[in-house]
Amino acid sequence: MSVPVILDVDTGVDDALAILFAVRHPGIEVLGITCVAGNASLAQVVDNTLRVLDAVGAPDLPVAAGAVRPLLEPPRSAGHVHGLDGLGGVPLPPTQRRPEPVGAVELLRRLILEHPTPVTLVALAPQTNLALLLRTYPEVAGNLERIVFMGGSASVGNATAVAEFNVWHDPEAAAIVLDANVPAYMYGLDVFNRVAVEQEVAAALEHGDDPLGRVVGALLGHRIALSADEQEEYTGLIGDAGAVCSIVDPLALRTEVRPVRVELAGYGRGQTLVDLRGRRGEDMVHGLADEWANVEIALEVDATRLTRLFLETLGLAGR
């Protein structure tokens, strides 16, 4: 039986990889996709998402546009990571697909409440749409299996020294989602940064004869200027796709259920604080501990196993 999922995306090079994987994996049924401003502007994210669906020959799936900006702050796209078009300049042909006439919150509500079994919400972007949904229609929580989100970190950040981009872009939204009493699974930078395809493999795909392989190879091969001296580097990260892989191969990851909360103030704004202590601390002893959400956090990953799953699902292993 396949897992019914809705993807919330800010496509995005690695959101694109995640969509390709989710559409192709027989264990996943994509009910629809909602879009939010993040890696690129909302309009660009919607267009990219529709083009990616064409690239993988997806059936007619509902796609809806959501929030144009975070709850409090202006949008701050990640053009230096994903390129100005959000897809790292990887050219995908224009599409005849059109977004739904309703917005993301309405589409999410309908898809979740109308589904006969609980739905898994897969958040691969800033969580603005999810927060608006949960504030507008809190009853959807009753038909959510869980929220699997790419975001946060129990260690290092990327947007800041301590904050991961998706949570940093809309910290209030992430805090609202964690507070919603829906089981949550965090696929954060602790594992995100480890799952990469080797450069020779990506290059062979990009220059091979399989049309989907060329797209995947080009997306993986997209280079990013991460160092201070602006040198562009190959990362080969499958990124958000790894969070989707975790749904069908959970044993490839080691997880722990830990208390988590989102910092909202100061330099730590957007950081996911993860309580990794194995003992009581003074805050608990003296009754000073706030409420934290208990979240299943992926802390280690068998990266080879996930990249193999990713490539095999797309029919690209050994090409």
Rounded distance, CA 11 to CA 9, Å? 6
CB of 78 to ligand BDR, least distance (A): 5
Residue with tokens 């997880």: 255
CB of 165 or CB of 185, closer to ligand BDR: 165
Query: Residue of minimal CB distance from ligand BDR?
Result: 165
Q: How far apart are CA 273 and CA 313, in angstroms?
A: 34
Pick 121 or 125: Cβ nearer ligand BDR: 125
- CA pair distance 210, 10, nearest whole angstrom: 26
Given the rule CB under 6 A, which residues bind ligand BDR? Answer: 12, 14-15, 39, 78, 81, 124-125, 150, 158, 164-166, 239-240
- The residue among 14 and 206 lying less far from ligand BDR, judged by its C-beta, is 14
* Residue whose CB is less far from ligand BDR, 39 or 128: 39
Q: Are 244 and 28 in contact (CB under 8 A)?
A: yes
Residue 168 CB, nearest approach to ligand BDR (Å): 8
Question: Which among 297, 293, 289, 268 is positioned nearest to 151, based on CA atoms?
Answer: 297
- Min dist CB 66 to Ca ion, Å, is 13
CB atoms within 10 A of CB 133: 28
Q: Which two tokens stand for residue 7?
A: 């993807």
Please state the closest distance from residue 62 (CB atom) to ligand BDR, in A. Answer: 21
Element (H, E) at 296: strand 293-301
Instruction: Pick the closer one to Ca ion by CB: 110 or 192.
Output: 192
- Provide the binding-site residues for Ca ion, judged by CB under 5 A: 10, 12, 15, 124-125, 240
